[in-house]
Chain A
Amino acid sequence: MTDPNSPPASLSEDVKIPESISGLEPVRSVRSPIKLVYDFVPSPPVQEYLRSYSKKKILGHRSPVDGAVFVPPRGVDPRHGVLIEESVELSDRGHVGNFCVTHLPIPGRDDLDIPYVSAWIHLDGANVGFLGLVAGCENDEVHIGMRVQAVWKKEEELGNTAENILYWKPTGEPSVPVEKAGNRAWDQPNE
C-alpha cells in the first residue's frame, strides 16, 4: 500500500516559488466570515400562522386527503402534493414526542443556559411535531410522552412570532404511552 502521507508520484515534483515571494512566511489561511441578510416574505398560510401567535393562538392545516394536521401550516400536504385550505386552531398543550439534552451553546441564543432540553412538541390535534424548549422541571425528569403546556410571553411583549412561547412546562397529567408518542401515533397507509 502507498504511504498516505507522501504525495502521489505524479504530484511529487517540488513546487518552484517565484523569487519575489520566496523568503516570505506562507499564508496558511484567511478568515472571511460571511453574513447574509435577507427579507423573508412568508406565504399566506405562514403569515396567518405568525399573526395568530400575537393572539396566543397556534394554527395548523388539515389535509383534505386523510385529515392529517400539519403545524406550522405551509399550504400543502407534501405527501400527496395537494393544496390545503382548511386552518384549524390547535391547543397550546401537547406532549414531548422526543427530545435532546443539549450541552452546547447555540450562536444567537445567549439566553439559553446549558444543558437545555430541545424537544419535538406534538400539540393535541396535530399529527407532526415542531421544536420547542422544555423547562420548568429538572432535565432528567423530561421523558418521551410527557404532557406539556406553553408558557407565553407577557401580553405587552407579544409579536408575530413563534418566539412568543418562552418554553413548554410539564402539566403533571399522565404521560402518553411511548408507542403512541410523536409521529408514531399516525398509521402510515402508504407503507
Chain B
Amino acid sequence: MSAELTAVLGVGQTKYSATRGDVSIAGLCREAACRALEDAHLGWKEIDAVVIGTAPDFFEGVMMPELYLAEALGAVGKPILRVHTAGSVGGSTALVAASLIQSRVHEKVLTIGFEKQSESNATWALSLPQPFSVSINAGAGGYFSPIIRQYMSRSGAPELIGCMVAFKDRQHALKNPYAHLHQNDLTFEEVVDSPMLWNPIRYSETCPSSDGACAMVLGNEVSGDRAENPVAWVHGTAMRSESNNFPGRDEVNPLASRQCAADVFRQAGITNPLKEIDAVEIYVPFSWYEPMWLESLGFAEIDHGWRMVEDGTTSLSGGKLPVNCSGGVLSSNPIGASGMIRFAEAALQVRGMAGDHQVDGAKKSFGHAYGGGAQYFSMWIVGAEKP
C-alpha cells in the first residue's frame, strides 16, 4: 500500500526578532499556530495531533517543553510528540508530522518549531566541558570554522565567497517581513570589514540569535483537495544521521547528507536537481555552507558550488536557482524553528504565497535542515501539483 498523499494546508510564522519580551514560549508558539490555522481555514478542534520540536533543553533551561505547552497548543486529549535532532529539529519535526499523515494514522496534524534565544545562551550551552578532553571549543562557530577552512582549501574558492552569500541573504531578507535582520543600508564592504569571530568566519557571516516560532498544518489528500488556499504537496521526505568523528569522515560533504539527498530526489523522481527545482531553502547558519551544501546535495559539481554564488545563480534577482529567498538562517535563527522555516518557506513558494520574495511560477521546491556536527539531515521536496 502506498503512502497517503500529504499536503501543507497552512503556514504560520512569528516576526523573528532578538527579543520577544511580550510573550512567553507558549505565547510565541500559539501565535505561529494560530496563523497556520487561519491560513488553513481550520480550527483547533479539527487537529488530530500536535508535533513540536525545539533545540536542546540546555538552551532555555525548560525541561520537557511538550508537557508545559500541551494546553497552549490545544493538545489536551490528543497526542503530542516532541522531536529532537539538534539544529535540524525543525525539519525532522515536520517530517515526523508528515509521517503521521502518510501512514494514515491521522488526517490533520499541527506541527511547530520554536526557540526563544533571548532566554538562553546557545553558544555556551554548546561548549560544555567534558572530563576526557580539553575545554577549548567555542560554540558552533568554533566547530564549523575548521570545516569551512577545509572547503576553502580543497575547492580553491575565492576568499570573499562567504561574504557574497551573507550579503545576498541579507538583501533577500529585506523582501521578507518576518525576517529578523532588515539591514536596509548594509554594504558589501561592511560585510567584508566585519570582525573575525572564528577565522575564517566573520561576525557578518554568522546567523543572528532570534526568538520565533514557525508552524504548519499538514493534511491528507482529501484535506488538500478541499482546502481554500493553494496547498503544497509533499513529493519526498528523507532523514539520515552519522557520527561526528570517525576515520575517513568527509566533514565537508558528509555521507549522511549525500545519502539523504539521493533518497529524497529518488522519491520525487528528480534526476537533475538544478534543472527541476525552482526554489531552494537550505540551512546556512554560516555563509560558506551555501556552496558546501549545494555541492553535497547535487545542485553543483564538487568544488564548484562557489561559482554559483559568484555568478549570481543563487540570487533572487534573476538567478537560475534562487537560494534562501526568505533571507535564510543568516537573517533569522530561532534555532528550533529554523529548520521548519526552511520547510515552510519551500511550501510557500510552490503555493505562490511567498509575497515579495516569491520565485515566479515556482512548481517544485526543496527544504533542508542539518544539525549537530553536521550529523543530522532532514529534507523534503514539495510541489504545486500532486506527485
A104 near B355 with CB under 8 A, answer no
Interface status of B351 (Cβ within 8 A of chain A): no
A187:B248 contact, CB within 8 angstroms: yes
CB within 8 Å for A162 and B119 given contacts A120-B146, A191-B255: no
For the complex, is A91 an interface residue (Cβ under 8 Å from B)?
no
B31 contacts A183, CB within 8 Å? no
- Are B199 and A103 closer than 8 Å at their CB atoms? yes
Complex alpha-carbon distance, A42 and B131, angstroms: 9
Which residue in chain B gives the minimum CB-CB distance to A190? B255
- Cβ B135 vs Cβ A109 within 8 A: yes
Q: Which residues of A contact B138 (CB under 8 A)?
A: 100, 102, 104, 106, 118
| Shortest beta-carbon distance from B67 to chain A in Å | 18
B-contacting 9-mer, from A16-24, A82-90, A124-132: A124-132
**Contact among B124, B196, B251 with A101 in the assembled complex (CB-CB below 8 Å):** B196
Task: Give the residues in chain B near A99, CB-CB below 8 Å.
Answer: 146, 149
B11-37 Cβ-contact flags toward A at 8 Å (1 or 0):
011110000010000000011001101
| Chain B residue contacts of A102, Cβ below 8 A | 138, 142, 145, 197-199
Q: B137 in the interface, Cβ–Cβ < 8 Å?
A: yes
Residues of A within 8 A of B149 (CB): 98-100, 144
> Is A79 touching B136 in the complex (CB atoms < 8 A)?
no
Interface residue? B249 (CB, 8 A)? yes
Given A115-B199, A144-B153, do A183 and B248 touch, yes or no (CB 8 Å)? Answer: yes
- Chain A residues with CB under 8 Å of B31's CB are 7-8, 11
- Interface membership of chain A positions 102-123, coded 1 if the CB is closer than 8 angstroms to chain B and 0 otherwise: 1110111100100110111000
A112 to chain B, nearest CB (A): 8
Give, as a whole number of angstroms, the nearest-CB distance from A138 to chain B: 13
Identify which of B88-96, B229-237, B239-247, B293-301 touches chain A. Answer: B239-247
Size band of the interface chain A makes with B? 35 or more
B325 to chain A, nearest CB (A): 14
Asked if A29 contacts B245 (CB within 8 A), the reply is no
Within 8 A of B (CB), among A44-99: 46, 49-50, 68, 70, 72, 78-79, 97-99
- Whether B139 lies near A4 (C-beta < 8 A) is no
Closest to A31 in B: B119
Q: Which residues of chain B in 115-138 are interfacial with respect to chain A, using CB atoms and an 8 Å cutoff? A: 118-119, 123-124, 127, 129, 131-138
**Are A100 and B248 touching (Cβ within 8 A)?**
no
Which of B13, B35, B132 has the most chain A CB within a 10 Å cutoff? B132
Q: Which residues of B contact A29 (CB under 8 A)?
A: 21, 118-119
A4's contact among B13, B37, B123, B243, by CB below 8 Å, is which?
A: B13
State A48–B302 Cα separation when bound (angstroms).
42
Query: Interface extent on B, as a size class?
Result: 35 or more
Min distance, Cβ A49 to any Cβ of chain B, angstroms: 7
Contacting A at CB under 8 A, from B194-223, are 195-199
Closest to B22 in A: A28
CB of A37 within 8 Å of the partner chain: no
A10 contacts B246, C-beta separation under 8 Å: no
Are A133 and B136 touching (Cβ within 8 A)?
Answer: yes
* Assembly CA distance A130 to B246 (angstroms): 11
What is the distance, in angstroms, from A56's C-beta to the closest C-beta of chain B? 16
CB distance from B307 to the nearest CB of A (A): 21
Return A149 CB to nearest CB of chain B, in Å: 16
B4 at the interface (CB under 8 A from A): no
A137 at the interface (CB under 8 A from B): no
* Identity of the chain A residue whose Cβ is nearest the Cβ of B16 in the assembled complex: A4
**Distance from B144 Cβ to chain A, minimum over Cβ atoms (Å):** 9
Taken together as a complex, chains A and B put the C-alpha atoms of A165 and B142 apart, in Å, by 20
Bound complex: CA of A28 vs CA of B37, how far in Å? 28
Asked if residues B198 and A101 are in contact (CB atoms below 8 Å), the reply is yes
Flag if A2 contacts B35 (CB, 8 Å).
yes
Smallest CB gap from B33: residue in A: A8
Known A-B contacts A104-B139, A163-B134; A184 and B250 likewise in contact (beta carbons under 8 Å): yes
Chain A CB within 10 Å, residue with most, of B124, B135, B136, B255: B136
Interface hits, B130-168 → A, CB 8 Å: 131-139, 141-142, 145-147, 149-150, 153-154
> CA of A190 to CA of B122 in the docked complex: distance in angstroms?
34
User: B38 in the interface, Cβ–Cβ < 8 Å?
Assistant: yes
Q: Could you tell me if B145 and A100 are in contact, using CB atoms closer than 8 angstroms?
A: yes
Give the distance to chain A from B6, nearest Cβ to Cβ, in Å: 24
Q: Kindly list 20 other residue pairs between chains A and B, CB separation below 8 angstroms, not including A127-B248, A178-B153.
A: A1-B353, A3-B177, A4-B15, A8-B31, A29-B21, A40-B131, A79-B246, A98-B150, A100-B142, A103-B195, A104-B138, A104-B142, A108-B135, A109-B136, A120-B146, A144-B153, A163-B134, A165-B134, A183-B247, A188-B247
- 25 A-B residue pairs with CB within 8 Å: A1-B177, A1-B353, A1-B355, A8-B38, A10-B37, A29-B21, A72-B132, A101-B196, A102-B197, A104-B142, A104-B198, A106-B127, A106-B136, A115-B199, A127-B247, A131-B134, A131-B137, A132-B136, A133-B136, A144-B149, A144-B150, A144-B153, A182-B150, A183-B251, A186-B248
